[in-house]
Amino acid sequence: MRLALAAVAGLAGAVALTGCADSAFFDPGTPPSPEETIRIVPHNGAHGVRADGRLEIRVPQGRLERVEVSRTGAAGRQRVAGRISPDGTVWRPDRGPLHLGATYTVDAVALDGRGHRSVRRTTFRTARPVHHLTGHFSPQGDATVGTGLIFSMVFNRPVADRAAVERAVTVTARPQVEVAGHWFGRRRLDFRPRDRWRPGTVITVRLRLRGVKAAPDVYGTQARTVRYRVARDQISTIDAARHTMTVRRDGRIVAVLPVTAGDAENPTYNGRMVILERHSVTRMDGGTVGFGGEYDIADVPHAMRLTRSGTFLHGNYWARPEVFGGVNTSHGCVGLRDLRGGAPDTPAGWFFGRSIVGDTVVVLNSPERTVAPDNGLGGWNLPWEQWRAGSAVR
């Protein structure tokens, strides 16, 4: 009897043990914490995250169901675009770098390998840049330009990592042509194709400088896209010896106008120049360009700037009519006959009304040297291979 009872007791024990084993097999147990299920970089509460820091949401097991990332900064609250990988294990932003001086918020939902759903929210702050890098350029917005336009950016601070900055500025064209950058020192970056743009070309400039490290403690701030449409092809050739300007539109001569160029002491630059800006009227003060008090004219009409150093092609109402086409009398500018206040039916008014920023002006037969490539948009005077050699990106 005792043996039988012992056998029953042993069986009961065996059944009890088996029952415990089955319970352990089917009980999913305590689910892992959200921190274990969803790994987020940078970590929650991180401060001073660099612009090139990694932003990533990952699950070691299971898959991500939903991820929303936003940033709050000077521009308010904005969603950060990104995507979950096809296998559902990782989320990354569509583009970098991170915006500096911003607070990022991450909301993620995931299923682990055993079907447990986890929800996690984290925040982190990026570093505040010590110095901002900004590039100034013109025209600022979408504009119609001439075939000679060179896109030129002048930065507010010296750039140490020129390759990083140049990669963050892309200039493309439709129809497609090769476009190359060229640095003039550490503050100026220009872009141009081998030859002048074809009429009808659409030029797209994408600035992705926000967060780009340009120098120690210096980061870019710009993120925008600008487009230009190239108009008809106009080239105006000034013969300083003959005192004439021949205007060609799409290869055809449309006018030959009498001019007065720089005199023997102040000759006009030779070479290819580009109209940088246009003014119906402007003041010209010799003191601003090294001529002291030799002249100060408050109402120069129909003025078009050709160089940063002060060369203009402008209307002239103060010279005698026989000067135009007969003698060079200026301090380096090129003058066209005009009336005080500017008249549309004078040579200066006619030319001003048919010119736009980006049109090409060529000066020949002047005793002066060729204009420097960084004086205005004089880069067309550099051979293509020499231009390309000025790029920091190889």
Which residues are the active-site residues?
314, 333
- Residues 219, 129: contact at Cβ < 8 Å? yes
Measured distance CA(343)–CA(42) in Å, rounded: 65
CB 353 within 8 A of CB 344: yes
352-382 CB burial, b ≥16 within 10 A, e <16:
beebbbbbbbbbeebebeebbbbbbbbbbbb
- Residues forming a β-bridge with 298: none
Gap between the Cα atoms of 171 and 188, Å rounded: 15
Measure CA of the first residue to CA of the last residue in the chain; give whole Å.
96
| DSSP codes, 35-53 | HHHSEEESPTTEEEE-TT-
Q: Where are the alpha helices (DSSP H) in the chain?
A: 2-26, 34-37, 162-167, 347-353, 384-388
Closest CA to 69 of 111, 42, 105, 41: 105
